[in-house]
Structure 1
Amino acid sequence: MSDTQIITIDGIDYNLDNLTEKARLQIQNIRFCDQQIRQLQNEWAIADTARLGYANALRREVEKHKI
């Protein structure tokens, strides 16, 4: 099995070993940004779920004291 790492950019496969140091650095930057985006999406989902729970609790509280 080969240790060759391939990255696809705009539908073209590139061997990472053949890219310049600057190109590899940009790939690292993109990967970091992708990781941050995933983290923020996870945090958004947690906050959205919590908000729904709070809204449901509020709705129940308001219904209990409805006149």
Structure 2
Amino acid sequence: MDEPLQVTVDGVSYLVSELSAEAQEQVNNLRFVDQEMAALRSRLALCSTARIAYENALRLAVPRSIQ
């Protein structure tokens, strides 16, 4: 069985189901934002990896100078 969802605010833990509707809405807002931030971190990691690959491809595509 799933554990009841809890939230900790200023070091005090609360059961979400026992909070007011307004407080539950804010918990949902925080959960949504946390999920969005995780998705953005994943996209940033993907873009960073692609940028490295494009840099490497550019190095191979430009003429090499002879010194």
TM-score (norm 1): 0.83
2:14 aligned residue: 14
Question: What are the ranges of 5 or more consecutive residues in structure 1 without an aligned counterpart?
Answer: none
The 1-side partners of 2:3 and 2:64 are apart by 67
Q: Percent identity at matched positions?
A: 37
Deviations 1:27-57 (A, max 9, x none): 0000000000000110011011001100011
Structure with a larger share of its residues in helix: 1
The 1-side partners of 2:4 and 2:38 are apart by 26
1:66 aligned residue: 64
TM-score (norm 2): 0.83
The 1-side partners of 2:13 and 2:38 are apart by 24
1:31 aligned residue: 31
2:53 aligned residue: 53
The 2-side partners of 1:66 and 1:6 are apart by 60
SS in 1 for 2:13: strand
Which moved further from structure 2: 10-19 or 39-48? 10-19
